[in-house]
Chains A and B, each alone.
Chain A
Amino acid sequence: MRAVTWQGRHKISVETVPDPEIVNPRDAIIRVTSTAICGSDLHLYDGYIPGMRAGDIVGHEFMGEVVETGASSTLHRGQRVVVPFTISCGQCFFCEKQQYSACDNSNPSETRDASELMMGHAMGGAFGYAHLTGGYAGGQAEYVRIPYSDVGPVVIPDGLADDDVLFLSDILPTGWQAAVNADIEPGDTVAVWGCGPVGLFTIQSALLLGAGRVIAIDHFPTRLALAKKYGAEILDYTKVDVREALAEMTGGIGPDACIDCVGMESHGFTVDNILDQVKVKLLSSTERIHALRQAILACRKGGRLSIPGVYGGFADKFPLGQLMEKGLTVKSGQTHVQRYSGELLDMIQAGKFDTVSLISHHASLEDAADMYRHWHDEQDLYTKIVLKPGLAKGAVSALQEMEHA
């Protein structure tokens, strides 16, 4: 089959590789019909994720059609499914508590040691995201083996297009959990840092969960325009002092909840090494460390801080005293996708989310290398890229004609 592979920093290539095989009774194999490039795939692209090996198949946002099932799989051939990016067994202590991304079984014995050494405990498994999260092949490919297929995949009813439901794999539940973690009370003012795809779903989720107003912070005009379209008030941080604006918009007390959808470009170690790498990219690094610090200082006393943004290690100059003295509540973590899949699918069917208008481009799987470059270099023009294994090479279509904010 054809698959998108990581070959090194800023080196993505589409290669012919062996097809996956059923290995365990609960496995299923799907033929991928749509797969998106995630913001966190840029961490791999930039070489910040330790434990990547040349030749790894990437991609963790994907859906497709079931083509083969193991003896204990509950799926049937021909079903359309969206696959959560987290691999979860459904039977360990954590899965029973619905903390699916903390699954204690999905990271195999061979790969969990390094993960445990780095984090204190081994992380759960994930598709296409390096060997610290299990070393599983990703979904930017024609076929994927799905472990524990009786627990993760969401069966999609007829009549829903791929674009309507694809983001159930990661960014929609991630945005939803970010808003749930902000413990929003009716009428709250919620500030969201970062209007990438996760930030855009966080905005929609916060409003659905009862926020009175959402204030979104970014600097790309297209992304700010999308935030506005989804109901947020917007701040371009290159044009205003964000903290002053937030204080003045809230009678001086600050937002009730602050959500960091930016994250740190680094996912990894060694700390000094990563910091050095980040410092090379001076703008992004200072900006991103800055976002969390700014959120803590901007948040009202006794407010809530939710961190869906990806961080990898030890942070520098973290405002711990400010966090404590202001009495903030912090919630964070990788997304427990399986916990939210059902209710979010219902909400999509009820028309509560706009899951489509943030997609800027559809392209062939064969054009993945170009698409990674665009996704990395042109974040204003490319707001979300969906790859289709079925399209012919070069069949790129830009969908979005967005007026600037």
Chain B
Amino acid sequence: MSRSKNDLPDPLILAAAGAGIAVLATGAALWQRRRHRESRGQEETIATDAPHWTLDKTSSRALFGKSVLINRPRAELYAAWMPERFPEFMENVVAVDDLGEDVSQWTIKAPAGREVTLVNRITERVEDTSIYWQSTPASDIANSGEVRFTDAPAGRGTYVSLILAYDPPAGKVGRLAAKLLQREPEVQARRDLHRFKQLMETGEVTTNASPSARGAESPAEPHI
């Protein structure tokens, strides 16, 4: 029997074997790290001063929080955070209807041109400090959150924090899909918060609306 080419390992098989080893090694390393973290977690005694929404890994958080510095007084910002003004800076909010008794109905743009309806109740107001809300059973998406106003040091204005928890429709896959379509609540909340800052500091929502040689774009509409 002569030695043929077939006796040599196929490069594809070699590559596959290599990839398999890499996957195993990565898995083992992750497992080790997790065990390490778990054992360390039991010994954890030092309290942290980090905001509660920054704890834990990003991927395993059920909570989203974002803070911005706004160069305006706390009371002014608290007063401006009212449903009537939301459509001015919340790009995905089509309408907010007051149903009375601190319950409001939100019509929101969702992925693929659909709309969802949120029905939320304000559960607590602390004058010039924070507003808490919780969705009612009539809401399409279960959610709760807080907007918090804190004095920034040295006359810099106010830290405004938006803290949000929600039950993503279609779970993690749905959440990822929504992110890709730029309609994910975290992405929207972050951008809306920045628009609120722009509006309160400059009196207008910043736009890059300008001409280009791309036929589909209007010089009066913002673009990515």
Contact = CB atoms under 8 A, between A and B. Distances in A.
B206 A15 contact: no
A136 B210 contact: yes
Interface in A271-292: none
A92 interface: yes
B211 A110 contact: no
A109 B191 contact: yes
Contact of A106 (B205, B206, B210, B214): B206
A18 B202 contact: no
A19 B210 CA distance: 8
B208 A135 contact: yes
A110 B217 CA distance: 15
A101 to B, nearest CB: 16
A111 B224 contact: yes
B174 to A, nearest CB: 21
Contacts, number: 118
Interface residues of B, number: 33
Dominant secondary structure of chain A at its interface with chain B? loop
Interface stretch (B2-10, B45-53, B114-122, B192-200): B192-200
A228 to B, nearest CB: 41
A89 interface: yes
B195 A109 contact: yes
Contacts of A145: 209-210, 219
A17 B222 CA distance: 16
Contacts of B210: 20, 57, 135-137, 144-145
Nearest to B220: A21
Given A26-B204, A135-B208, A96 B71 contact: yes
B203 A25 contact: yes
A23 B223 CA distance: 13
B156 interface: yes
Contacts of A137: 210-212, 219
Interface in A95-114: 96, 104-113
A308 to B, nearest CB: 26
The winner among B187, B194, B208, B220 for most chain A CB atoms within 10 A is B208
A93 B155 CA distance: 10
A1 to B, nearest CB: 8
Contacts of A113: 187, 190-191
A390 to B, nearest CB: 20
Task: Sort chain A's interface into a size bin.
Answer: 35 or more
Interface stretch (A48-56, A172-180, A206-214): A48-56
A20 B203 contact: no
Given A17-B212, A57-B211, A93-B71, A112 B194 contact: yes
A89 B213 contact: no
B223 A17 contact: no
Contacts of A92: 71, 197, 201-202
Interface string A339-351: 0000000000000
B131 to A, nearest CB: 22
B191 to A, nearest CB: 4
The winner among B198, B202, B203 for most chain A CB atoms within 10 A is B202
Contact of B208 (A72, A96, A108, A144): A108
Contacts of A111: 208, 224
Given A93-B69, A110-B191, A57 B201 contact: no
B167 interface: no
Contacts of B204: 24-26
Nearest to B193: A109
A201 interface: no
Nearest to A90: B202
Contact of A56 (B91, B194, B206, B212): B212
Interface in A106-155: 106-113, 125, 131, 134-137, 141, 144-145, 147-148
B214 A53 contact: yes
B159 to A, nearest CB: 11
A112 B195 CA distance: 11
Contacts of A23: 207, 209, 220
Contacts of A141: 211
A108 B219 CA distance: 15
Contact of B202 (A1, A7, A26): A26
17 contacts: A17-B211, A18-B211, A20-B210, A23-B207, A25-B203, A54-B213, A57-B212, A93-B69, A93-B71, A106-B206, A108-B207, A110-B222, A113-B187, A125-B206, A135-B224, A136-B210, A145-B219
Closest 9 CB pairs of A and B: A137-B210, A55-B213, A109-B191, A55-B214, A15-B213, A24-B204, A5-B213, A135-B208, A23-B209
Given A104-B69, A137-B210, 16 more contacts: A1-B211, A17-B211, A17-B213, A19-B211, A20-B211, A20-B219, A23-B207, A54-B213, A55-B212, A56-B213, A72-B203, A91-B71, A92-B202, A93-B156, A96-B71, A107-B206
Interface of B: 69, 71, 91, 156-157, 187, 190-192, 194-195, 197-198, 201-214, 218-220, 222-224
